Amino acid sequence: MRGTRLLWSALILLTAAMAFAGPRVLAGIEGLLQLSGFPVAASAATLSEHELEEINAMPAQDQAMRLLERTFNHYTGAGEEIERRADVWLGQIHSTPEMSKLTDVAYFSSDLRVRAAALEVWRIEAGFHTTPEAMDEIIHSAATSADRKYFFLSYLGILGNRGVERPRAFDTLMLYARDPDGDIRAAAINGLALLGTEDTIAPLLEIFRSDPSHDLRERAACNLADSGMVSRDLRKKAVPELVRFSQDPNLDQTTKKWVYQALREITLQKIGDDPTAWVSWYGAQSGRF
């Protein structure tokens, strides 16, 4: 009984305190921002005239860093400013720990335009124009360099992604994707992921299914599911083949696990590691995948 009386006393005091404090306290409680839910705007998220004036007065390195940060925070106009200034920055932007942190955040964004901004900064850091001549240089360097193939094949994909001779970039990367050296195949896989065109889906699927290296199969799976520059709509084109992979008795269990993980990431379906369930689900999609 004593405990009950104490509880009622506490409730009466709390009610009285709320009545005395009035709307201000209630507003404060109602205004407590929860961490779950839809985004809540904190500002207009657009580059102001004042900030652009400030950016224009900065060295190129600082301009790129500020605009990259604004881009992955989805400030309107930031990505366009990077694109507009990119070639002017050639020779003035260099890789630093701070810049690498920003480009990594941008490249792992869920927004493909933000990832593209990271590619532009990487291209400028490496000193490549978006020209056929730059593509020639990269292809020649990849063929003649014994220890920098990963670098050059990655930039082959980046230049192709930025619109430079995409078919040529794809064909060249495919030559290296069939190389007996696993390190060279790894470089080609990364280049294909950075290229991100529709014709990269089939070779990434083939590598995922049949490359002798488990590590490279996993890389291909990640690039099909989430990584790289492939759009979500293009990733969906891999779903029919991934569903077939789930039924393949010749695939080992580790590869099968990656198949199911890729399917869940692409489709957002909460289906387990059950090939029958995936076949049933896919059959009900009426051509949506």
Band of pLDDT at residue 33, cut at 50, 70 and 90: confident
Average pLDDT over residues 54-65: 98
Identify which of 224, 243, 220, 221 has the alpha carbon closest to the alpha carbon of residue 234.
224
Identify which of 87, 85, 23, 76 has the alpha carbon closest to the alpha carbon of residue 55.
85
Q: Tens of pLDDT along 76-112?
A: 999 999 999 999 999 999 999 999 999 999 999 999 9
Q: pLDDT higher for 5 or 210?
A: 210
Band of pLDDT at residue 226, cut at 50, 70 and 90: very high
Average pLDDT over residues 271-280: 96
Q: Is 3's pLDDT higher than 60?
A: no
Band of pLDDT at residue 286, cut at 50, 70 and 90: confident
pLDDT for the residue 24 = 52
**Angle (deg, nearest 10), helices 239-246 and 275-283:** 150
Share of the chain above pLDDT 90, in %: 82
pLDDT for the residue 14 = 47
Q: Tens of pLDDT along 108-155?
A: 999 999 999 999 999 999 999 999 999 999 999 999 998 999 999 999
Cβ atoms of 251 and 245 within 8 Å: the answer is yes
Residue 72 to residues 69, 109, 111, 113, Cα–Cα distance (Å): 6, 7, 8, 9
pLDDT for the residue 39 = 78
pLDDT for the residue 31 = 65
Instruction: Please report the domains of the chain, with CATH numbers, ordered by start residue.
Output: 49-126 (no CATH), 132-283 (1.25.10.10)
Task: State the average pLDDT for the chain.
Answer: 91
pLDDT for the residue 16 = 46
Band of pLDDT at residue 41, cut at 50, 70 and 90: confident
Residue 248: what are its φ and ψ, rounded to 5°? Answer: -75, 115
Q: Tens of pLDDT along 192-213?
A: 999 999 999 999 999 999 999 9
Q: Cα(109)–Cα(198) distance, rounded to whole angstroms?
A: 20
pLDDT for the residue 30 = 53
Share of the chain above pLDDT 70, in %: 89
Residues in the chain: 289
pLDDT for the residue 289 = 72
Q: Cα(18)–Cα(10) distance, rounded to whole angstroms?
A: 12
Average pLDDT over residues 246-251: 96
pLDDT for the residue 27 = 47
Amino acid identity, position 166: R
Q: Is 7's pLDDT higher than 50?
A: no
pLDDT for the residue 25 = 46
Q: Measure the N-to-C terminal CA separation of the chain; round to a whole number of Å.
A: 65
pLDDT for the residue 80 = 96
pLDDT for the residue 29 = 44
